[in-house]
Structure 1
Amino acid sequence: MRLKNKPWALPLIEANPQYVVTEPEKWRGKWSERFSQKQPLLIEIGMGKGRFIVEMARRDPEHNYIGIEVQTTATGIALKKQLEAQLPNLQLVCGDGNDLTEMFASNEVAGIFLNFSDPWPKKRHTKRRLTYRTFLKQYQQVMQKDGQLEFKTDNRGLFEYSLTSMNNYGMVFDQVWLDLHASEEVADNVMTEYEEKFSQKGQPIYKLAAHFTD
């Protein structure tokens, strides 16, 4: 969902280059230099307003985190959260995450989060889904061999498609949840803004964790 443009967002981003990267390709292979400590790197593609990535970084100081978001307003809202939290293990990217191989070097990423991605329900838009095989190929290239991909959605059609796409690609599923909030996993679950909204309406939240075999 595209947010209404906020005129304050871009100036705020430009005023805080210590937290927000607008030319991520310049940091390819050098992301560890953006953090106070060299630690395994986890990224979220499509962080929205940043609730998930900020809370993950807060809870888990032993990993570095990057949230990627194409919308300037959403990035600005996430930046406000980071300016308040001042987390040394969190960086934000205002840019298009469609080609991760331009942003990250091979094996630079320890894990990837896809949360409530656009389902692109029309068949002609299949190639835009973030679990389409061309995206999976990118994830495999930038992730370390033991890296894990986590995917959450409220859209059953997208979830079923993603299971098929990943299976056909040869990925191995570590776990699959058909109703995340009714499982034991919910105790440690970090919600996104969308997740809270949908789950309050009684909508099941689907999740999977998977890895590449080579």
Structure 2
Amino acid sequence: MRVRKKPWAAQYIKDHADQIVTDPETQLGHWQDRFPSEQPLQVEIGIGKGQFIVEMARQHPDINFLGIEIQESVIATALRKLVESGLANVQLVETDGANVDTLFAPAEVDQLFLNFSDPWPKKRHAKRRLTSPNFLSHYQNVLKKNGRIQFKTDNRGLFEYSLMSFNHFGLEFDRVWLDLHNSDGNVGNVQTEYEEKFSSKGPIYELIAHFK
């Protein structure tokens, strides 16, 4: 989907460099320096307008959060939301989340969130899916031992593919929900903007897994 360019975005990002990173390669192995205190580090790849990552930070002040998004206009909206929140335990990163293994040192991350990623439905594009084996190997490199991946989608095909991909890669499932919003797993569930808008049209699928 094409995102409308926001003329104010670039300057707004520049004006709030204390809360957003545009040169992530300089932070490799030192992400904790961006926060007031060292705490478990959890990362969302593809934050959209930032509702999920900001609310997670609000509910979990004992965790540091990083939100990654490549589109300037989108992350600028998330940044505005962050600035207005006044939260200190969340930082944003303007970059391609597909390069996650180049952004973090080995075992630097405690948990990854993949929320409503592009399903890339055509078979020839399977390698682009963020739950494909290639990406799982990157996640394994940056996650700590027993570090978890939490994945949500409304796309049944992508969910089925992801179940098989995780299983074949050797991950251990902590929980799997076929209809998250009508299950016990919905207690404490923090929704994304997309999730709020489209959950009435069908079930939300979720799985949480970790590398053995």
Report the Cα distance in structure 2 between the residues aligned to 1:2 and 1:118, rounded to whole angstroms.
13
Correspondence for 2:113: 113
Counterpart of 1:86 in structure 2: which amino acid?
Answer: G
Counterpart of 1:120 in structure 2: which amino acid?
Answer: W
Give the drift of 1:187: 2.0
Counterpart of 1:89 in structure 2: which amino acid?
Answer: N
Counterpart of 1:28 in structure 2: which amino acid?
Answer: L
Counterpart of 1:209 in structure 2: which amino acid?
Answer: I
Aligned residue for 2:68, secondary structure, equals strand
Q: Which runs of 5+ in 2 are unaligned?
A: none
Counterpart of 1:144 in structure 2: which amino acid?
Answer: K
Identity of matched residues, %: 57
Question: Retained in 2: the 8 A contact 1:2–1:71?
Answer: no
Correspondence for 1:190: 190
Report the Cα distance in structure 1 between the residues aligned to 2:69 and 2:23, rounded to whole angstroms.
12
Question: Retained in 2: the 8 A contact 1:156–1:206?
Answer: yes
Report the TM-score when normalising by structure 1: 0.97
- 1:1-214 aligned at under 5 Å gives the runs 1-201=1-201, 203-213=202-212
> Quick one: structure 1 residues 51 and 7, their matched pair in 2 at CA, closer, same or farther if it must change by over 3 Å?
same
- 1:45-98 per-position Cα deviation (integer Å, ceiling 9, x unaligned): 000100000000000001000000001011000001111012110000011111
Report the Cα distance in structure 1 between the residues aligned to 2:95 and 2:66, rounded to whole angstroms.
12
Aligned residue for 2:141, secondary structure, equals helix
Report the Cα distance in structure 2 between the residues aligned to 1:138 and 1:160, rounded to whole angstroms.
21
Give the drift of 1:15: 1.0
Report the Cα distance in structure 2 between the residues aligned to 1:204 and 1:17, rounded to whole angstroms.
38
Report the Cα distance in structure 2 between the residues aligned to 1:2 and 1:92, rounded to whole angstroms.
21
Give the drift of 1:180: 0.2
Give the drift of 1:200: 2.6
